[in-house]
A and B are shown apart, each in its own frame.
Chain A
């Protein structure tokens, strides 16, 4: 594994290796070893052409805990905003000796462009591209679910996960569907028909339009943000109607299984897809998802950059 562009790049065993490595790194950093020397002298560039809080800070914290040098680079305040092409940016990063680029980009496929051309030799890590994929988010979601509900198992066999909301625009949903099913979970998508992508019937999932009928049957429920910045047309009549049919509120939290987890990749629209009391309820692992994100991203960086610079599988 040289790059992490899509969950499809990972075999089941590689995904489990990432989760296991993250678990071990979490135990080490919760304990006495806050900082590891593993990536000393390596340069990691965070190239964020789209706004982000969690993912960028999380990758930065992960890289720094592994002693890598981190260069942050966002669209605002860089030549990207003057219209510099991805190719020129990539060649600049190559010239500065970047060993890895963590890229977030509004265009689906931008990380693939970066990895597939000979513009730069470093590893490319997709931190969210358009409406396509967000693999590190899916890995941290799977990690969180396994930690709480896995009962010591390596994968997620037999667990039922509902992904609710704006599936159409969600790269988090796409990566999660691929990863959770790869790990043996059953995934149900819940959304109004207008927010389901074309061709969803060919995905390895079940689809429901009725949140209340799905709620009692799941082990984890993942609420997605309504992505207003990507919506150029009207997908539902009103925000109030959407939250009534597809929002997570206190009554729906109470209807969940006693052990079920409430998840959200953030940032939340409180009051739209999730109410404040649902987001802050005892079932919610939303804040924990963020701290798990650092461990999972440390694992990704270690497995991609920790070893010899060779092509091919990990281990």
Chain B
């Protein structure tokens, strides 16, 4: 197992993503950050903190659980649901930024887009991820990327965050066949 992104790099990536988001949308007023639980939600909260530190004010932030919209539900045992918390302003007419830890097949993001479509019609949707490891199975790409990490399919990328795992780091390990 090898650390590919130590704690200081994660912090820098989050601050850079916050700046990029602000630059694209001309300030924080029209942005709604939606993190995909579990780790995406914590990353969204950190990006929100970084945006608030830059802009002052409070950017809208929430969570979006994709479990009920996944296309692989039938292939595994049912998972417990995670919280969906949409900010009071909703998503209608907002620039929604989905936030996740790792972008891999793209299927989670497809499920998130479906879930988002049930809630309302945002003006635009973009995607921020801490790690893009490639191997997309759907035509989905990230707009804001912490780090591109080329991997083989069998390798396992693990994002650890203080809030969940007690430590900030991204590791890569040789794994079995996925």
CB distance from B20 to the nearest CB of A (A): 28
- CB neighbours (8 Å) of B83 from chain A are 24, 27
- CB neighbours (8 Å) of B114 from chain A are 37
- CB neighbours (8 Å) of B74 from chain A are 307-309
CB distance from B77 to the nearest CB of A (A): 4
A314–B82 alpha-carbon span in the complex (Å): 16
Q: Is the beta-carbon distance between B81 and A24 smaller than 8 angstroms?
A: yes
- CB neighbours (8 Å) of A33 from chain B are 84, 115, 118-119
Q: Could you tell me which residues of chain A, from 295 to 315, have a CB within 8 Å of some CB in chain B? A: 302-303, 306-310, 312-315
A103–B68 alpha-carbon span in the complex (Å): 25
Q: Could you tell me which residues of chain B, from 54 to 81, have a CB within 8 Å of some CB in chain A? A: 65, 68-69, 73-81
Is A38 interfacial (CB 8 A cutoff)? yes
Q: Is the interface of A mostly helix, strand, loop or mixed?
A: loop
Interface 1/0s, chain B 108-131, versus A by CB < 8 A? 000000110011100000000000
A12–B125 alpha-carbon span in the complex (Å): 41
With A37-B69, A306-B73 already in contact, the answer to whether A32 and B118 are too (CB < 8 A) is yes
Is B90 interfacial (CB 8 A cutoff)? yes
Q: Is the beta-carbon distance between A27 and B84 smaller than 8 angstroms?
A: yes
Q: Is the beta-carbon distance between B80 and A315 smaller than 8 angstroms?
A: yes
Q: Nearest B residue to A31 by beta-carbon distance?
A: B86
- CB neighbours (8 Å) of B77 from chain A are 307-308, 310, 312-315
- Which residues in A have some Cβ–Cβ distance to B below 8 Å? 17, 20-21, 24-25, 27-28, 31-33, 35-38, 302-303, 306-310, 312-315
With A31-B86, A32-B118, A33-B115 already in contact, the answer to whether A17 and B73 are too (CB < 8 A) is no
Q: Is the beta-carbon distance between B80 and A21 smaller than 8 angstroms?
A: yes
Q: Nearest B residue to A21 by beta-carbon distance?
A: B81
In addition to A25-B81, A312-B77, 12 A-B residue pairs with Cβ atoms within 8 Å of each other are A21-B80, A21-B81, A27-B84, A32-B120, A33-B115, A36-B69, A37-B114, A302-B68, A306-B78, A307-B74, A309-B74, A310-B77
Q: Is the beta-carbon distance between B73 and A307 smaller than 8 angstroms?
A: yes
A35–B86 alpha-carbon span in the complex (Å): 16
CB distance from A183 to the nearest CB of B (A): 17
Q: Is the beta-carbon distance between A308 and B75 smaller than 8 angstroms?
A: yes
Q: Nearest B residue to A36 by beta-carbon distance?
A: B68
6 closest A-B pairs by beta carbon, nearest first, are A307-B78, A306-B78, A24-B81, A32-B119, A307-B77, A36-B68
A16–B82 alpha-carbon span in the complex (Å): 14
CB distance from A298 to the nearest CB of B (A): 10
A312–B76 alpha-carbon span in the complex (Å): 12
CB distance from A234 to the nearest CB of B (A): 48
- CB neighbours (8 Å) of B86 from chain A are 31-32
- CB neighbours (8 Å) of B119 from chain A are 31-33
- The residue among A28, A35, A302 with the most chain B CB atoms within 10 A of its own CB is A28
CB distance from B72 to the nearest CB of A (A): 9
- CB neighbours (8 Å) of B82 from chain A are 24
Which residue in A17, A37, A312 is a CB contact (below 8 Å) of B68?
A: A37
- CB neighbours (8 Å) of B120 from chain A are 32
CB distance from A173 to the nearest CB of B (A): 29
A256–B79 alpha-carbon span in the complex (Å): 40
Q: Nearest A residue to B117 by beta-carbon distance?
A: A33
A24–B67 alpha-carbon span in the complex (Å): 12
Which residue in A20, A25, A31, A315 is a CB contact (below 8 Å) of B78?
A: A315
- CB neighbours (8 Å) of A38 from chain B are 68-69, 73
